[in-house]
Structure 1
Amino acid sequence: MTASSATMTDHGTAPHNGMMTTDQARDPDYFPGLAIAIPLGIQHVLAMFVSNLTPAIIVAGAAGFGFGSPDPSAMIYMIQMAMLFAGIATLLQTLGAGPVGARLPIVQGTSFAFLPVMIPIVAGRGVEAMAELTTAAIIGGLFHTGLSVFVGRIRFALPPMVTGLVVLMIGLSLMRVGIQYAAGGVPAQGTPAYGAGTSWLLAAIVVATTLGLSFFGRGIWSTAAVLLGLLAGYAAAALMGRVSLAPVADAGWIMLPMPFHFGFALSAAAVMGFCLMGFISAIESIGAVSAICEGSAGRPATDRELVGATCADGVGTALAATFGAMPNTSFSQNVGLIAITGVMSRHVVTIGALFLILCGLAPKVGAAITTIPIEVLGGGVIVMFGMVASAAVSILSGVEWSQRNMLIFGVALSLGIGLELEPDAVGHLPETARIMLTSGVLPAALVAVVLNLAMPGRPKAA
């Protein structure tokens, strides 16, 4: 559904028959009515649904209680909390609470950016490691909240060369996960059919369906292409006898969040990693707010909107982590969806948030997701992480590639990828330093920021 074709009249024309003027479509406080708001709100959920759940599934798999584990209950809980607190964090953005929230149509969801930091923290350590991760996320979220006051003053340290490098490292760091999933799991877990042709066939069905709908679909068919691709792969897996709905039958009808579900445990490496990634997440929020205001409202974002959005990021992350969920951030794919529909109403996104909350309280939804074969999920992950890397290339295309910038970028990229590929190179360092240096993203970001600030020839701030 697009507002330009179904809901909007020319500028200045009085609304009639469910239509709206251009000024109303650009007004975040305007409510277009339930007939328009409900389908557009659900469309926002469909656009981010898979991306929102994937980090929780990947972290559970890295820890060893993901797909194929004897007891998937912890992963089901994480999936439910991902939906529930994405909805709650979105409400913080759309409705606001004091200084918290931009009061704009910003959709929040579980952040991919923290995955390269989270995976080394929990790798192979089971559910027990989640206490360290969620505790660090709480502290990192509170740090992020405090950072919102100074968000305008730190932008100079993160030009497009640095932010583009960070986004690229996130994509590159996670591509291995996509390939492992598509091939049938994680080799270390001893999956018998790892790399089998049937595994790659299921992943290929997902990728092919997603690409076909993205290029040739219209409206909801294109917007929800990844979700529909997963459904196509799921249907193929069911025909192959690879799907069992027993977990859905065993799951209850309602699940309430539990404070400190995984416990409380401090890890210096985890806390430092989450706080450092808070800088990157803050810049993500600034970019999302700026894109919405400039692209859909035809005006620059106000300082209050920027501060409120970043503050909601931090509060949403701390709140989610308190109940065992992953860090939250603004979702860029939904920014693009607003540009497509032409409707900037924050109340539309509020309806989508309420739908997410309802899903988050129903454990049968999470149980149904755990029945997806890992190869099917792998096909979707390949597409999503490839798009992360593509977004980085788009950011980097605007950089002036002088010899100075090429040297800074090259050294940071080389260290980031090299240490991630060869973690034993820092095997004699303390655990905190080892986890941070082998995350890929953090060393690359730190080297790029420091060199960009220290080396001569840096452009003056505008």
Structure 2
Amino acid sequence: MDKGSTELRSRSVFELHGLPSMAKAFPLGIQHVLAMLVGNITPAIIIGGVVGLGTGDATLLVQSAMFIAGIATLIQLYPMGKAGSTYRIGSGLPVIMGVSFAYIPPLIAIGSQYGIAAILGAQMIGGVVAVIVGIFIKPIRKYFPPMVAGTVVFTIGLSLYPTAINYMAGGMGQTGYGSYTNWLVAVVTLLVVLFCNQFAKGYLKLASILVGILAGYFLALPLGLVDFAPIAEASWFALPRPLYFGIEFYPSAILTMAIMYVVNSVQAVGDLSATTVGGMGREISDDELSGGIIGNGVASVIASLFGGLPTATYSQNVGIVSMTKVISKFVLALAAGMILLAGFVPKVGALMTTIPHSVLGGATITVFALITMTGIRLIIQDELSIRNITIVGLAVALGVGISQVPEALEVFPQWFMMIFGSSAVVISAIVVFSLNLILPKKTLEDERKEREIMEKEMEVEGS
């Protein structure tokens, strides 16, 4: 390969270590920021309201969410420790981290009973649990074949659909929810994304999400859906405050969060696998998987010190990587820098929060759909034997079914409801993992031979 082609490859957005120009990298990075922004700050807003924080403290909680998302993303992009090391921190993969919606139900229960300090204390121990899971994930990885990881990814995609539809309708609880105006903006945004992704070429195709968001935003302006008040109210500069909210430890809160972190580690197996399969066309390595889970645990411990909430890989950003194939760590590092900037300059984050929910919903529903299909791609890497089909189908049925009818678990304790009644991913992950261990292994060939034996036995009985 000549020098010119080597230089060209080194600046490619499709290479993990590619260093594209700022003109190319910046818009691709900002669409990652836009995709994760609302999902990152919304849990902080919700928890701030539950625990009764004042305006200033609630703003600080949102600011901390941006700060820790940037830190957690950089930890994943640029690992600490040598490859092959048991204690490597970070996956080295192109992923975006942020505050996770999956933790909201237990956080609400803990916060309403014990307060914000108990949330941060339980989160700190939960982060340590995640580190332990990450250290031992290599020897137990064999228990997470593509079928198991794919089922988790598939369920993640399915569980995100209601969020996308609620966003398209204008945001649950927002004025004008379900109005013609919101649906018009959402559908136009979606159509622009689809057009750019399917018919455009070059850069316009890669930045389809960003182009769709911009188109929806400019359409929403004259329709009165954009509120600039948050920008005026936000300050120009503010520093995170370590231990501002304090830290307290309660056994029940710690147990709940420890279980959630174990489950989230299983979800991380799915998200990180989806990144390598969908964006890089290969299976994830043991080092990447272990480092990714350990990195998330370390980030959560750091977050507990700065008032940030629990972090996780962001499935919508995994979907963007899978859809665009843009895997340059430089692009995602720019995104992390912008997220950090929003953490130090609240007005930056406030500007991004002016994007209407309907615009974000129209832009991200294709991403959520792609996550689901990535899960299917993982599932079919294993044989579609009756055994495997049964396991996957039952795991999805129980997970999605129970999450849609949480009142079916009302007779169970509140902690049980918090963990199992609010997330399809939790139940599906537990079911697919357990059944894959319990049910006897049977290949398609084994099942064919079993049918032949049954047929012969029936012929003998018939004669």
* TM-score clears 0.5: yes
**Is residue 151–residue 282 contact of structure 1 (8 Å, CA) maintained in 2?**
no
Read off the aligned partner of 2:140 and give its amino acid letter. Answer: I
Match of 2:458 in 1: none
Between the two proteins, the alignment pairs up a number of residues equal to 429
Matched, 1:14 2:3: yes
Match of 2:137 in 1: 151
| Partner residue of 2:262 out of 264, 267, 275 | 275
Change in Cα spacing, 1:336 to 1:412, as seen in structure 2 (3 Å) is closer
Q: Which amino acid aligns with 1:153?
A: P
Distance apart, 1:135 and its partner CA: 4.2
Q: Which residue of 1 aligns with 2:451?
A: none
| Identity value in percent | 29
User: Are 1:454 and 2:441 an aligned pair?
Assistant: no
1:311 shift after superposition: 2.5
2:396 is equivalent to residue 409 of structure 1: no
Classify 1:197/1:292 alpha carbon distance in 2 versus 1 (closer, same or farther; 3 Å).
closer
Partner of 1:361: 344
Work out the CA distance in 1 between the residues paired with 2:112 and 2:36. 22
1:117–1:273 Cα contact (<8 Å) kept: yes
In structure 1, runs of 5+ residues without a counterpart are 1-10
Q: Which amino acid aligns with 2:196?
A: L
| Rounded Cα–Cα distance in structure 2 between residues aligned with 1:376 and 1:457 | 46
Q: 1:118, 1:49 → 2: CA distance? A: 21
SS in 2 for 1:20: helix
- For 1:177, the aligned partner's letter is T
Equivalent pair of 2:14/2:325 in contact (CA under 8 Å): no
Q: Which of 11, 18, 22 matches 1:38?
A: 22
In structure 2, relative to structure 1, the CA distance for the partners of 1:246 and 1:306 (3 Å cut) is closer
Q: Is the 8 A contact 1:162 1:449 kept in 2?
A: yes
**Of the candidates 347, 351, 357, which is equivalent to residue 374 of structure 1?**
357
With over 3 angstroms needed to count, the CA separation of the structure-2 counterparts of 1:219 and 1:382, relative to structure 1, is: same
Instruction: Please say if 1:231 is aligned against 2:219.
Output: no
Letter in 2 for 1:92: I
Q: Which residue of 2 aligns with 1:246?
A: 229
Identify which of 149, 160, 165 aligns with 2:151.
165
Tell me, what secondary structure is at the counterpart of 1:371? coil
TM-score by length of 1: 0.78
Deviations 1:166-185 (A, max 9, x none): 12222222322222232233
| CA deviation map 1:300-350 (0-9, x unaligned) | 877555543443232223323443144133753575589557xx6x56654
Structure 1 contact 64–125 (Cα < 8 Å) conserved: no
Which residue of structure 1 lines up, in the alignment, with residue 409 of structure 2? 426
Distance 1:416 1:89 in 2: 28
Q: How do 1:27-426 and structure 2 match up within 5 A?
A: 36-60=20-44, 77=60, 80-98=63-81, 99-101=87-89, 104=92, 106-110=94-98, 114-119=100-105, 121-122=107-108, 133-186=119-172, 189=173, 191=174, 193-260=176-243, 263-264=246-247, 266=250, 267=253, 268-282=255-269, 284-285=271-272, 288=275, 304-323=287-306, 324-329=308-313, 332-333=318-319, 336=322, 339-340=325-326, 350-426=333-409
Q: CA deviation at 1:260?
A: 4.6
The answer (yes or no) to whether the contact 1:127–1:262 under 8 Å persists in 2 is: no
Report the Cα distance in structure 1 between the residues aligned to 2:29 and 2:160, rounded to whole angstroms.
23
Q: What SS class does the counterpart of residue 96 from structure 1 fall into? A: coil
1:202-241: CA deviations, max 9, x gaps?
Answer: 2112212221222233344333322332222222221112
Shift of 1:449: 0.8
Q: CA deviation at 1:147?
A: 2.2
Distance across 1 between alignment mates of 2:326 and 2:406? 43
User: Aligned Cα RMSD in Å?
Assistant: 3.9
The question of whether the paired residues in 2 share the 8 Å contact of 1:256 and 1:361 is answered with yes
Contact 2:216 2:359 (8 Å CA) reproduced: yes
Aligned to 2:97, the other structure's residue is in SS state strand
Structure 2 CA distance for aligned equivalents of residues 301 and 451 of structure 1: 23
* C-alpha distance in 2 between matches for 1:212 and 1:27: 22
Of 141-150 and 314-323, more deviation after overlay is shown by 314-323
**AA at the equivalent of 1:14:** K
Whether the 8 Å CA contact 1:318–1:327 is kept in 2: the answer is: no
Structure-1 separation of matches of 2:288 and 2:352: 35
Deviation of 1:452 after TM superposition, in Å, equals 0.8
Q: 1:41 to 1:119 in 2, by over 3 A?
A: farther
Name the CA distance, whole Å, in 2 between partners of 1:303 and 1:409: 24
Find the residue that maps to 2:3 and give its secondary structure. coil
Asked if structure 2 preserves the Cα contact closer than 8 Å seen for 1:63 and 1:123, the reply is no
Query: Which one-letter code corresponds to 1:368 in the other structure?
Result: L
8 A contact 2:91–2:295 mirrored in 1? no
Query: Given residue 43 of structure 2, which amino acid in structure 1 is its aligned partner?
Result: V
Asked whether the equivalents of residues 215 and 222 of structure 1 are also in contact (C-alpha less than 8 Å), the reply is yes
Report the counterpart of residue 5 of structure 1 in structure 2. Answer: none
Q: CA deviation at 1:257?
A: 1.7
In the superposition, the TM-score normalised over structure 2's length comes to 0.78
- Contact kept? 2:319, 2:367, Cα under 8 Å: no
Is the alpha carbon distance of 1:30 and 1:139 closer, same or farther for their aligned partners in structure 2, counting shifts above 3 Å?
same
Deviation of residue 273 (structure 1)? 1.5
